[in-house]
Structure 1
Amino acid sequence: MPKLKTRKAAAKRFKKTGTGKIKRGNTNRRHILESKSKKNKRQGRRDVVISPSDVKRVKKMLPGF
């Protein structure tokens, strides 16, 4: 049986935590930051754990996870 291929686009966007959860970077942080509040920009630096409804889909794209 051939090896399962990893979706490279997904591999670049998601990381696995030590406890097995999957995290992703925050959105709305690329441009037009002038109109956003300091709090909004600061909180955007943190990574976010993906929702439980998306876990199955992401794991399917990343067979090594």
Structure 2
Amino acid sequence: MAMPKIKTHSGAKKRFKITATGKVAYKKVNRGHLLRKKNQKRIRALKQKGYLDEAFARKIKQLMPYSN
């Protein structure tokens, strides 16, 4: 009898993406509203993707078993 499939964590699925090289990418916070008071340099920096360090990435990859 085969082992049952593991469910993907739905919260992690919505927030993180595993890249082709195996890094875990996420969208940075503080881009939703109140942008007038933030300077352009800060807004541009928030536009870029963030990448988790290896310790957190291992935990997220456990929550998303079939996305590798």
Q: Please tell me the root mean square deviation across aligned C-alpha atoms, in Å.
A: 1.2
Secondary structure of the corresponding residue to residue 35 of structure 2: coil
Identity %: 35
Counterpart of 2:56 (choices 35, 43, 54) is: 54
How big is each residue's C-alpha offset from its partner over 1:11-47, in whole Å with a ceiling of 9 and x where there is no partner?
1111122211111111111112121110111111111
Distance in 2 separating the partners of 1:53 and 1:31? 31
Unaligned runs of 5+ residues in structure 2 are: none
2:5 paired with 1:8? no
Question: TM-score of the superposition, structure 1-length normalised?
Answer: 0.86
The structure having more radius of gyration, on CA atoms, is 2
AA aligned opposite 2:65: P
Match of residue 32, structure 2, among 30, 33, 51? 30
Q: After TM superposition, where is structure 1 displaced by more than 6 Å over at least 4 residues in a row?
A: none
Q: How many residues align?
A: 65
